[in-house]
Structure 1
Amino acid sequence: MNKTHYIIIILSLFLFLGCTLENKKKPDYSSLNLEELFNLFLTTQDSLEENTIIPFLDDSIAKYPYSFFYPNEEIDSLKNKLIFKFGHVIYVGWDSKVKNRNIFQFQIDRKNTITIKHEKIDKLDSIKSDMTKFLINKNNSDCLPEKRIRKIDLLDTVEVCKAAFIINALTIPDSTGNKTDWRIIKEVAQLVSSTIYSLRNNSAFHFWKKTYLELNIKQQKALSELHLMWIWIYPNRFFEIKPPPPPPPIVNKEILDIIEDKENEEEALMRILLK
Protein backbone atom coordinates (compact mmCIF):
# COMPACT_ATOMS: atom_id res chain seq x y z
CA MET A 1 0.00 0.00 0.00
CA ASN A 2 1.53 3.28 -1.10
CA LYS A 3 1.46 6.69 0.56
CA THR A 4 -1.54 7.87 -1.50
CA HIS A 5 -3.66 5.01 -0.19
CA TYR A 6 -2.76 5.88 3.40
CA ILE A 7 -3.77 9.50 2.82
CA ILE A 8 -7.13 8.43 1.30
CA ILE A 9 -7.85 6.11 4.27
CA ILE A 10 -7.01 8.84 6.81
CA LEU A 11 -9.20 11.39 5.00
CA SER A 12 -12.05 8.88 4.88
CA LEU A 13 -11.77 8.30 8.62
CA PHE A 14 -11.89 12.04 9.29
CA LEU A 15 -14.96 12.40 7.07
CA PHE A 16 -16.64 9.46 8.83
CA LEU A 17 -15.94 10.87 12.28
CA GLY A 18 -17.12 14.30 11.18
CA CYS A 19 -20.42 12.91 9.93
CA THR A 20 -20.86 10.83 13.09
CA LEU A 21 -20.34 13.87 15.34
CA GLU A 22 -22.63 15.97 13.21
CA ASN A 23 -25.36 13.33 13.47
CA LYS A 24 -25.18 13.46 17.27
CA LYS A 25 -27.36 16.51 17.39
CA LYS A 26 -27.94 18.36 20.61
CA PRO A 27 -31.56 18.47 21.75
CA ASP A 28 -33.71 21.49 21.04
CA TYR A 29 -33.60 22.94 24.56
CA SER A 30 -36.33 25.46 23.79
CA SER A 31 -38.78 22.59 23.21
CA LEU A 32 -38.08 20.94 26.59
CA ASN A 33 -40.18 21.58 29.68
CA LEU A 34 -38.67 22.45 33.07
CA GLU A 35 -38.68 18.84 34.27
CA GLU A 36 -36.87 17.63 31.13
CA LEU A 37 -34.35 20.47 31.29
CA PHE A 38 -33.54 19.79 34.94
CA ASN A 39 -33.02 16.05 34.44
CA LEU A 40 -30.84 16.65 31.40
CA PHE A 41 -28.85 19.19 33.41
CA LEU A 42 -28.34 16.69 36.26
CA THR A 43 -27.13 13.90 34.00
CA THR A 44 -24.87 15.76 31.60
CA GLN A 45 -21.13 15.65 32.27
CA ASP A 46 -20.41 18.30 29.67
CA SER A 47 -19.74 21.69 31.30
CA LEU A 48 -20.49 23.46 28.01
CA GLU A 49 -23.89 21.82 27.85
CA GLU A 50 -24.51 22.81 31.49
CA ASN A 51 -23.84 26.45 30.57
CA THR A 52 -26.22 26.14 27.61
CA ILE A 53 -29.05 24.65 29.67
CA ILE A 54 -28.88 27.11 32.61
CA PRO A 55 -30.51 30.10 30.78
CA PHE A 56 -33.40 27.82 29.77
CA LEU A 57 -33.76 26.67 33.38
CA ASP A 58 -33.81 30.31 34.50
CA ASP A 59 -36.54 31.20 32.02
CA SER A 60 -38.65 28.16 32.91
CA ILE A 61 -38.41 28.42 36.71
CA ALA A 62 -39.63 32.03 36.56
CA LYS A 63 -43.02 30.67 35.41
CA TYR A 64 -43.30 28.23 38.34
CA PRO A 65 -41.37 29.87 41.18
CA TYR A 66 -42.94 28.03 44.10
CA SER A 67 -43.20 24.45 42.87
CA PHE A 68 -40.54 21.84 43.52
CA PHE A 69 -38.77 18.75 42.21
CA TYR A 70 -39.34 15.35 43.79
CA PRO A 71 -37.73 11.96 43.05
CA ASN A 72 -39.01 9.21 40.77
CA GLU A 73 -36.46 6.43 40.60
CA GLU A 74 -36.26 4.04 37.65
CA ILE A 75 -34.49 0.76 38.36
CA ASP A 76 -33.39 -1.90 35.90
CA SER A 77 -30.64 -4.51 35.86
CA LEU A 78 -28.22 -2.42 33.80
CA LYS A 79 -28.35 0.98 35.37
CA ASN A 80 -29.93 3.16 38.04
CA LYS A 81 -31.61 6.32 36.91
CA LEU A 82 -32.83 8.99 39.29
CA ILE A 83 -35.46 11.16 37.62
CA PHE A 84 -36.96 14.25 39.22
CA LYS A 85 -40.59 15.12 38.62
CA PHE A 86 -41.85 18.67 38.96
CA GLY A 87 -44.52 19.25 41.62
CA HIS A 88 -47.38 21.70 41.62
CA VAL A 89 -48.33 24.33 44.16
CA ILE A 90 -50.95 21.99 45.65
CA TYR A 91 -48.15 20.09 47.39
CA VAL A 92 -46.46 23.13 48.93
CA GLY A 93 -46.44 22.82 52.70
CA TRP A 94 -46.58 19.03 52.77
CA ASP A 95 -43.33 18.93 54.74
CA SER A 96 -44.80 20.95 57.61
CA LYS A 97 -46.62 17.73 58.54
CA VAL A 98 -43.40 15.71 58.57
CA LYS A 99 -41.46 15.63 61.82
CA ASN A 100 -38.43 17.88 61.92
CA ARG A 101 -36.18 15.01 63.05
CA ASN A 102 -36.92 13.18 59.78
CA ILE A 103 -35.66 16.03 57.57
CA PHE A 104 -32.08 16.96 56.63
CA GLN A 105 -32.15 20.44 55.09
CA PHE A 106 -29.69 22.31 52.91
CA GLN A 107 -30.02 26.07 52.48
CA ILE A 108 -28.28 27.62 49.44
CA ASP A 109 -28.48 31.42 49.33
CA ARG A 110 -28.00 33.80 46.41
CA LYS A 111 -24.26 33.97 47.13
CA ASN A 112 -24.09 30.17 46.84
CA THR A 113 -23.32 29.75 50.53
CA ILE A 114 -24.50 26.38 51.81
CA THR A 115 -25.75 26.15 55.37
CA ILE A 116 -27.17 23.35 57.49
CA LYS A 117 -28.90 24.36 60.72
CA HIS A 118 -27.39 27.86 60.33
CA GLU A 119 -23.86 26.42 60.08
CA LYS A 120 -21.87 27.32 56.97
CA ILE A 121 -20.54 24.35 54.99
CA ASP A 122 -17.31 25.05 53.12
CA LYS A 123 -16.68 21.50 51.87
CA LEU A 124 -19.61 19.26 51.04
CA ASP A 125 -17.59 16.07 51.44
CA SER A 126 -17.08 16.97 55.10
CA ILE A 127 -20.75 16.27 55.89
CA LYS A 128 -21.05 12.91 54.14
CA SER A 129 -20.52 10.99 57.39
CA ASP A 130 -23.23 13.11 59.08
CA MET A 131 -25.60 12.27 56.24
CA THR A 132 -24.85 8.56 56.62
CA LYS A 133 -25.55 8.74 60.37
CA PHE A 134 -28.81 10.55 59.60
CA LEU A 135 -29.84 7.88 57.11
CA ILE A 136 -29.29 4.87 59.38
CA ASN A 137 -29.72 6.25 62.94
CA LYS A 138 -27.75 3.31 64.25
CA ASN A 139 -28.25 4.11 67.94
CA ASN A 140 -31.94 5.05 67.61
CA SER A 141 -31.34 8.65 68.65
CA ASP A 142 -34.40 10.82 69.32
CA CYS A 143 -32.74 13.58 67.29
CA LEU A 144 -32.39 11.47 64.13
CA PRO A 145 -35.05 9.95 61.83
CA GLU A 146 -37.67 7.60 63.15
CA LYS A 147 -37.78 4.01 61.97
CA ARG A 148 -40.64 1.81 60.96
CA ILE A 149 -40.77 -1.98 60.70
CA ARG A 150 -41.43 -3.23 57.18
CA LYS A 151 -41.52 -6.58 55.47
CA ILE A 152 -39.65 -6.30 52.17
CA ASP A 153 -39.47 -9.14 49.65
CA LEU A 154 -36.07 -10.89 49.74
CA LEU A 155 -35.08 -9.02 52.94
CA ASP A 156 -37.84 -10.25 55.26
CA THR A 157 -38.61 -7.93 58.22
CA VAL A 158 -36.32 -4.87 58.44
CA GLU A 159 -36.17 -1.38 59.94
CA VAL A 160 -36.52 1.48 57.46
CA CYS A 161 -35.57 5.06 58.36
CA LYS A 162 -38.00 7.87 57.54
CA ALA A 163 -35.09 10.01 56.32
CA ALA A 164 -35.82 12.78 53.80
CA PHE A 165 -33.55 15.46 52.30
CA ILE A 166 -34.68 18.94 51.31
CA ILE A 167 -32.59 21.34 49.24
CA ASN A 168 -33.76 24.96 49.46
CA ALA A 169 -32.38 27.51 47.00
CA LEU A 170 -33.06 30.93 45.45
CA THR A 171 -32.73 30.61 41.67
CA ILE A 172 -34.76 33.73 40.87
CA PRO A 173 -32.36 36.72 41.05
CA ASP A 174 -32.72 39.65 43.42
CA SER A 175 -32.50 43.31 42.36
CA THR A 176 -28.71 43.02 42.00
CA GLY A 177 -28.88 39.90 39.83
CA ASN A 178 -27.61 37.50 42.51
CA LYS A 179 -29.13 34.00 42.52
CA THR A 180 -28.30 30.43 43.45
CA ASP A 181 -26.17 28.68 40.85
CA TRP A 182 -27.93 25.62 39.43
CA ARG A 183 -24.55 23.85 39.49
CA ILE A 184 -24.47 24.09 43.30
CA ILE A 185 -27.93 22.52 43.49
CA LYS A 186 -26.68 19.73 41.23
CA GLU A 187 -23.60 19.18 43.38
CA VAL A 188 -25.67 18.86 46.56
CA ALA A 189 -28.25 16.56 44.92
CA GLN A 190 -25.51 14.31 43.58
CA LEU A 191 -23.84 14.14 47.00
CA VAL A 192 -27.11 13.07 48.64
CA SER A 193 -27.91 10.44 46.01
CA SER A 194 -24.35 9.05 46.06
CA THR A 195 -24.55 8.71 49.86
CA ILE A 196 -27.77 6.71 49.54
CA TYR A 197 -26.26 4.55 46.80
CA SER A 198 -23.29 3.86 49.09
CA LEU A 199 -25.66 2.48 51.72
CA ARG A 200 -27.34 0.31 49.11
CA ASN A 201 -23.94 -0.94 48.04
CA ASN A 202 -23.08 -1.88 51.64
CA SER A 203 -26.39 -3.69 52.05
CA ALA A 204 -25.90 -5.51 48.74
CA PHE A 205 -22.63 -6.92 50.06
CA HIS A 206 -24.26 -7.73 53.41
CA PHE A 207 -27.15 -9.70 51.90
CA TRP A 208 -25.65 -11.12 48.70
CA LYS A 209 -21.88 -10.47 48.73
CA LYS A 210 -22.22 -8.37 45.55
CA THR A 211 -22.16 -4.72 44.60
CA TYR A 212 -25.49 -2.97 44.15
CA LEU A 213 -25.10 -2.76 40.36
CA GLU A 214 -24.37 -6.50 40.19
CA LEU A 215 -27.78 -7.34 41.66
CA ASN A 216 -30.82 -8.35 39.62
CA ILE A 217 -33.88 -6.10 39.37
CA LYS A 218 -35.76 -7.67 42.30
CA GLN A 219 -32.74 -7.37 44.58
CA GLN A 220 -32.14 -3.73 43.59
CA LYS A 221 -35.81 -2.87 44.16
CA ALA A 222 -35.66 -4.50 47.59
CA LEU A 223 -32.72 -2.30 48.58
CA SER A 224 -34.38 0.77 47.09
CA GLU A 225 -37.21 0.19 49.59
CA LEU A 226 -34.71 -0.26 52.42
CA HIS A 227 -32.69 2.88 51.60
CA LEU A 228 -35.20 5.36 50.18
CA MET A 229 -34.22 7.99 47.63
CA TRP A 230 -36.22 10.79 49.26
CA ILE A 231 -34.85 14.08 47.93
CA TRP A 232 -36.94 17.22 47.42
CA ILE A 233 -35.54 20.31 45.72
CA TYR A 234 -37.17 23.72 46.16
CA PRO A 235 -35.59 26.11 43.61
CA ASN A 236 -37.07 29.16 45.35
CA ARG A 237 -37.52 28.65 49.04
CA PHE A 238 -35.14 29.65 51.78
CA PHE A 239 -36.22 28.84 55.28
CA GLU A 240 -35.80 26.08 57.76
CA ILE A 241 -38.83 24.08 58.79
CA LYS A 242 -39.58 24.74 62.43
CA PRO A 243 -40.04 21.82 64.80
CA PRO A 244 -43.73 21.03 65.45
CA PRO A 245 -45.24 22.00 68.83
CA PRO A 246 -45.12 19.33 71.56
CA PRO A 247 -48.02 16.84 71.52
CA PRO A 248 -50.84 17.17 74.03
CA PRO A 249 -50.71 15.06 77.20
CA ILE A 250 -51.91 11.52 76.59
CA VAL A 251 -54.87 10.82 78.84
CA ASN A 252 -56.78 8.00 77.20
CA LYS A 253 -56.82 5.45 74.37
CA GLU A 254 -58.81 7.76 72.06
CA ILE A 255 -55.95 10.28 72.00
CA LEU A 256 -53.46 7.47 71.42
CA ASP A 257 -55.45 6.42 68.34
CA ILE A 258 -55.43 10.01 67.02
CA ILE A 259 -51.64 10.21 67.37
CA GLU A 260 -51.21 6.88 65.59
CA ASP A 261 -53.35 8.18 62.71
CA LYS A 262 -51.04 11.22 62.47
CA GLU A 263 -48.01 8.91 62.20
CA ASN A 264 -49.70 7.07 59.34
CA GLU A 265 -50.63 10.38 57.70
CA GLU A 266 -46.99 11.44 57.63
CA GLU A 267 -45.87 8.27 55.87
CA ALA A 268 -48.86 8.41 53.50
CA LEU A 269 -47.90 11.96 52.46
CA MET A 270 -44.36 10.89 51.63
CA ARG A 271 -45.69 7.93 49.59
CA ILE A 272 -48.26 10.01 47.71
CA LEU A 273 -45.60 12.50 46.59
CA LEU A 274 -43.46 9.70 45.18
CA LYS A 275 -46.19 8.24 42.98
Structure 2
Amino acid sequence: MLALPFCLLFLVFTVWPVLQSLFMSITDTRAKDLRTPFSVDFVGLDNYTRALSDENFLRAVRNTAYFVLVGVPLTLTLALAAAVALDRGISRFRSAFRLGFYTPVVTSIVAVAVVWQFLLNREFGLINTVLGWVGISGPNWLGDPDWAMPALIMMASWRNFGTGMIIFLAGLQAVPWALHEAASIDGASAWQRFRHITLPMLRPTMLFVSVTTMIGYLQFFEEPFVMTNGGPLDSTVSMSLYTYRQFGFGNYGYAASLSYLIFVVVAIVTALQFRALREKE
Protein backbone atom coordinates (compact mmCIF):
# COMPACT_ATOMS: atom_id res chain seq x y z
CA MET A 1 0.00 0.00 0.00
CA LEU A 2 2.76 2.43 0.89
CA ALA A 3 4.65 1.67 -2.33
CA LEU A 4 1.55 1.95 -4.53
CA PRO A 5 1.70 5.77 -5.12
CA PHE A 6 5.32 5.56 -6.23
CA CYS A 7 4.62 2.53 -8.44
CA LEU A 8 1.74 4.34 -10.14
CA LEU A 9 3.83 7.46 -10.74
CA PHE A 10 6.70 5.32 -12.03
CA LEU A 11 4.45 3.46 -14.44
CA VAL A 12 2.77 6.63 -15.74
CA PHE A 13 5.75 8.97 -16.01
CA THR A 14 8.63 6.54 -16.70
CA VAL A 15 7.58 3.12 -18.01
CA TRP A 16 4.81 4.37 -20.30
CA PRO A 17 6.92 7.14 -21.95
CA VAL A 18 9.75 4.64 -22.49
CA LEU A 19 7.44 2.15 -24.17
CA GLN A 20 5.73 4.91 -26.14
CA SER A 21 9.05 6.25 -27.43
CA LEU A 22 10.16 2.71 -28.33
CA PHE A 23 7.00 2.24 -30.37
CA MET A 24 7.47 5.68 -31.91
CA SER A 25 11.01 4.75 -33.01
CA ILE A 26 9.67 2.05 -35.34
CA THR A 27 7.05 4.32 -36.95
CA ASP A 28 7.17 7.37 -39.19
CA THR A 29 5.57 9.61 -36.55
CA ARG A 30 5.82 13.33 -37.33
CA ALA A 31 4.39 16.46 -35.72
CA LYS A 32 1.32 16.34 -37.98
CA ASP A 33 0.46 12.87 -36.63
CA LEU A 34 -0.04 13.95 -33.01
CA ARG A 35 -3.78 14.40 -33.49
CA THR A 36 -4.11 11.00 -35.18
CA PRO A 37 -1.46 8.84 -33.46
CA PHE A 38 -3.00 5.57 -34.70
CA SER A 39 -2.68 6.53 -38.35
CA VAL A 40 1.11 6.37 -38.46
CA ASP A 41 2.86 3.76 -40.56
CA PHE A 42 5.02 1.00 -39.14
CA VAL A 43 8.52 1.25 -40.67
CA GLY A 44 10.40 -1.34 -38.61
CA LEU A 45 14.11 -0.63 -38.33
CA ASP A 46 14.19 1.91 -41.16
CA ASN A 47 14.78 4.80 -38.74
CA TYR A 48 17.77 3.00 -37.24
CA THR A 49 19.32 2.14 -40.60
CA ARG A 50 18.72 5.72 -41.71
CA ALA A 51 20.61 6.98 -38.65
CA LEU A 52 23.61 4.76 -39.40
CA SER A 53 23.85 6.28 -42.88
CA ASP A 54 23.04 9.86 -41.84
CA GLU A 55 26.27 11.81 -42.29
CA ASN A 56 25.08 14.58 -39.97
CA PHE A 57 24.38 12.11 -37.18
CA LEU A 58 27.71 10.35 -37.78
CA ARG A 59 29.43 13.72 -37.48
CA ALA A 60 27.64 14.21 -34.16
CA VAL A 61 28.88 10.77 -33.07
CA ARG A 62 32.48 11.74 -33.92
CA ASN A 63 32.11 15.04 -32.07
CA THR A 64 30.74 13.24 -29.02
CA ALA A 65 33.54 10.68 -29.13
CA TYR A 66 36.09 13.52 -29.27
CA PHE A 67 34.44 15.22 -26.30
CA VAL A 68 34.36 12.00 -24.26
CA LEU A 69 37.83 10.64 -25.08
CA VAL A 70 39.50 13.93 -24.17
CA GLY A 71 37.11 15.32 -21.58
CA VAL A 72 36.69 12.28 -19.34
CA PRO A 73 40.44 11.63 -18.72
CA LEU A 74 41.03 15.36 -18.21
CA THR A 75 38.15 15.63 -15.73
CA LEU A 76 39.24 12.53 -13.80
CA THR A 77 42.85 13.77 -13.66
CA LEU A 78 41.80 17.17 -12.33
CA ALA A 79 39.44 15.56 -9.82
CA LEU A 80 42.04 13.12 -8.51
CA ALA A 81 44.78 15.77 -8.33
CA ALA A 82 42.51 18.12 -6.39
CA ALA A 83 41.44 15.31 -4.06
CA VAL A 84 45.05 14.31 -3.33
CA ALA A 85 45.99 17.93 -2.68
CA LEU A 86 43.08 18.39 -0.28
CA ASP A 87 43.71 15.07 1.44
CA ARG A 88 47.45 15.45 2.05
CA GLY A 89 48.91 18.64 0.67
CA ILE A 90 46.56 21.40 1.79
CA SER A 91 45.82 21.59 5.50
CA ARG A 92 44.78 25.20 6.04
CA PHE A 93 41.46 26.41 4.64
CA ARG A 94 40.67 22.90 3.42
CA SER A 95 36.91 23.38 3.75
CA ALA A 96 37.08 26.63 1.77
CA PHE A 97 38.95 24.89 -1.06
CA ARG A 98 36.41 22.05 -1.13
CA LEU A 99 33.57 24.54 -1.38
CA GLY A 100 35.34 26.57 -4.05
CA PHE A 101 36.14 23.56 -6.22
CA TYR A 102 32.60 22.18 -5.90
CA THR A 103 30.77 25.47 -6.52
CA PRO A 104 30.81 25.20 -10.36
CA VAL A 105 28.94 21.89 -10.13
CA VAL A 106 25.89 23.48 -8.50
CA THR A 107 26.03 26.66 -10.58
CA SER A 108 23.54 27.09 -13.41
CA ILE A 109 24.97 26.02 -16.77
CA VAL A 110 23.56 29.21 -18.31
CA ALA A 111 25.47 31.36 -15.83
CA VAL A 112 28.63 29.31 -16.38
CA ALA A 113 28.24 29.56 -20.16
CA VAL A 114 27.85 33.34 -20.07
CA VAL A 115 30.98 33.73 -17.93
CA TRP A 116 32.99 31.42 -20.18
CA GLN A 117 31.80 33.20 -23.30
CA PHE A 118 33.37 36.35 -21.90
CA LEU A 119 36.52 34.46 -20.89
CA LEU A 120 36.86 32.93 -24.36
CA ASN A 121 36.08 36.11 -26.30
CA ARG A 122 38.66 36.62 -29.03
CA GLU A 123 39.02 40.38 -28.60
CA PHE A 124 38.74 41.10 -24.88
CA GLY A 125 38.50 37.68 -23.19
CA LEU A 126 40.66 37.08 -20.14
CA ILE A 127 42.21 33.90 -21.58
CA ASN A 128 43.47 35.58 -24.75
CA THR A 129 44.56 38.60 -22.73
CA VAL A 130 46.74 36.42 -20.50
CA LEU A 131 48.13 34.60 -23.54
CA GLY A 132 48.97 37.98 -25.06
CA TRP A 133 51.08 38.84 -22.01
CA VAL A 134 53.46 36.02 -22.97
CA GLY A 135 53.45 36.83 -26.68
CA ILE A 136 50.87 34.25 -27.80
CA SER A 137 48.03 35.29 -30.08
CA GLY A 138 44.98 33.51 -28.75
CA PRO A 139 42.63 31.77 -31.19
CA ASN A 140 39.00 32.50 -31.88
CA TRP A 141 37.91 29.89 -29.37
CA LEU A 142 34.20 29.65 -30.13
CA GLY A 143 34.37 30.78 -33.76
CA ASP A 144 37.05 28.41 -35.07
CA PRO A 145 36.02 24.80 -35.86
CA ASP A 146 39.43 23.59 -34.68
CA TRP A 147 39.18 25.29 -31.28
CA ALA A 148 35.46 25.26 -30.42
CA MET A 149 35.40 21.69 -29.10
CA PRO A 150 38.61 22.07 -27.02
CA ALA A 151 37.03 25.19 -25.51
CA LEU A 152 33.90 23.26 -24.54
CA ILE A 153 36.00 20.43 -23.12
CA MET A 154 37.97 22.92 -21.05
CA MET A 155 34.80 24.47 -19.67
CA ALA A 156 33.10 21.12 -19.01
CA SER A 157 36.15 19.74 -17.18
CA TRP A 158 36.36 22.84 -15.00
CA ARG A 159 32.64 22.66 -14.23
CA ASN A 160 32.42 18.93 -13.49
CA PHE A 161 35.64 17.89 -11.78
CA GLY A 162 34.27 18.98 -8.40
CA THR A 163 31.93 15.99 -8.21
CA GLY A 164 34.73 13.52 -8.85
CA MET A 165 36.96 15.37 -6.39
CA ILE A 166 34.46 14.92 -3.54
CA ILE A 167 34.09 11.19 -4.28
CA PHE A 168 37.84 10.66 -4.69
CA LEU A 169 38.43 12.50 -1.45
CA ALA A 170 36.10 10.11 0.37
CA GLY A 171 37.95 7.18 -1.19
CA LEU A 172 41.36 8.56 -0.22
CA GLN A 173 40.30 9.02 3.37
CA ALA A 174 39.30 5.34 3.47
CA VAL A 175 42.83 4.19 2.56
CA PRO A 176 44.58 3.04 5.80
CA TRP A 177 47.47 5.38 6.56
CA ALA A 178 49.33 2.46 8.17
CA LEU A 179 49.94 1.03 4.70
CA HIS A 180 51.69 4.24 3.64
CA GLU A 181 53.77 4.26 6.80
CA ALA A 182 54.85 0.65 6.29
CA ALA A 183 55.77 1.30 2.65
CA SER A 184 57.65 4.46 3.64
CA ILE A 185 59.69 2.52 6.19
CA ASP A 186 60.53 0.01 3.43
CA GLY A 187 61.91 2.88 1.33
CA ALA A 188 59.01 3.47 -1.08
CA SER A 189 58.85 6.97 -2.52
CA ALA A 190 55.71 9.10 -2.52
CA TRP A 191 55.01 8.20 -6.17
CA GLN A 192 55.52 4.49 -5.49
CA ARG A 193 53.13 4.61 -2.54
CA PHE A 194 50.56 6.43 -4.65
CA ARG A 195 50.93 4.00 -7.57
CA HIS A 196 51.03 0.72 -5.66
CA ILE A 197 48.83 1.50 -2.65
CA THR A 198 46.51 4.42 -3.31
CA LEU A 199 45.49 3.73 -6.90
CA PRO A 200 44.72 0.01 -6.39
CA MET A 201 42.59 0.78 -3.35
CA LEU A 202 40.79 3.50 -5.29
CA ARG A 203 39.68 1.07 -8.01
CA PRO A 204 36.00 0.91 -6.88
CA THR A 205 35.91 4.70 -6.53
CA MET A 206 37.60 5.12 -9.90
CA LEU A 207 35.01 2.82 -11.48
CA PHE A 208 32.10 4.80 -10.08
CA VAL A 209 33.51 8.21 -11.01
CA SER A 210 34.57 7.15 -14.51
CA VAL A 211 31.22 5.49 -15.28
CA THR A 212 29.10 8.42 -14.07
CA THR A 213 31.35 10.95 -15.80
CA MET A 214 31.35 8.97 -19.04
CA ILE A 215 27.57 8.64 -19.03
CA GLY A 216 27.18 12.38 -18.48
CA TYR A 217 29.65 13.28 -21.21
CA LEU A 218 28.11 10.87 -23.74
CA GLN A 219 24.86 12.81 -23.29
CA PHE A 220 26.42 16.27 -23.25
CA PHE A 221 23.93 18.82 -24.49
CA GLU A 222 23.94 22.06 -22.52
CA GLU A 223 27.47 23.18 -23.45
CA PRO A 224 27.00 23.29 -27.25
CA PHE A 225 23.35 24.30 -26.99
CA VAL A 226 24.07 27.36 -24.87
CA MET A 227 27.52 28.42 -26.09
CA THR A 228 27.83 27.51 -29.78
CA ASN A 229 24.46 26.11 -30.92
CA GLY A 230 26.45 23.30 -32.50
CA GLY A 231 28.70 25.57 -34.54
CA PRO A 232 30.87 26.64 -36.10
CA LEU A 233 30.26 24.39 -39.11
CA ASP A 234 28.62 21.75 -36.88
CA SER A 235 31.95 21.11 -35.15
CA THR A 236 30.30 20.94 -31.72
CA VAL A 237 27.02 19.19 -32.55
CA SER A 238 26.59 16.29 -30.13
CA MET A 239 24.36 13.24 -30.44
CA SER A 240 21.94 14.67 -27.89
CA LEU A 241 21.83 18.07 -29.59
CA TYR A 242 21.22 16.48 -32.99
CA THR A 243 18.42 14.36 -31.51
CA TYR A 244 16.91 17.46 -29.93
CA ARG A 245 16.97 19.22 -33.29
CA GLN A 246 15.13 16.32 -34.93
CA PHE A 247 12.40 16.63 -32.31
CA GLY A 248 12.27 20.35 -33.07
CA PHE A 249 11.88 19.59 -36.77
CA GLY A 250 8.92 17.34 -35.96
CA ASN A 251 10.68 14.09 -36.91
CA TYR A 252 9.51 12.31 -33.77
CA GLY A 253 9.96 8.75 -34.99
CA TYR A 254 13.48 9.39 -36.23
CA ALA A 255 14.40 11.33 -33.09
CA ALA A 256 13.14 8.49 -30.88
CA SER A 257 15.35 6.01 -32.75
CA LEU A 258 18.34 8.31 -32.23
CA SER A 259 17.56 8.39 -28.50
CA TYR A 260 17.67 4.60 -28.34
CA LEU A 261 20.92 4.51 -30.28
CA ILE A 262 22.41 6.85 -27.67
CA PHE A 263 21.10 4.52 -24.96
CA VAL A 264 22.78 1.54 -26.64
CA VAL A 265 26.09 3.41 -26.88
CA VAL A 266 25.91 4.38 -23.20
CA ALA A 267 25.12 0.79 -22.20
CA ILE A 268 28.01 -0.65 -24.23
CA VAL A 269 30.56 1.87 -22.97
CA THR A 270 29.41 1.35 -19.37
CA ALA A 271 29.74 -2.43 -19.72
CA LEU A 272 33.27 -2.04 -21.10
CA GLN A 273 34.22 0.20 -18.18
CA PHE A 274 32.90 -2.31 -15.66
CA ARG A 275 34.90 -5.02 -17.37
CA ALA A 276 38.11 -2.95 -17.44
CA LEU A 277 37.95 -1.45 -13.94
CA ARG A 278 36.25 -4.12 -11.87
CA GLU A 279 38.21 -5.48 -8.91
CA LYS A 280 40.47 -8.40 -9.69
CA GLU A 281 40.13 -11.61 -7.73
Q: Same fold per TM (> 0.5)? A: no
Specify which structure has the higher proportion of helix.
Answer: 2
Higher relative contact order (CA 8 A, sep 6+): 2
Q: TM-score, normalised by structure 2?
A: 0.25
Specify which structure has the higher proportion of strand.
Answer: 1
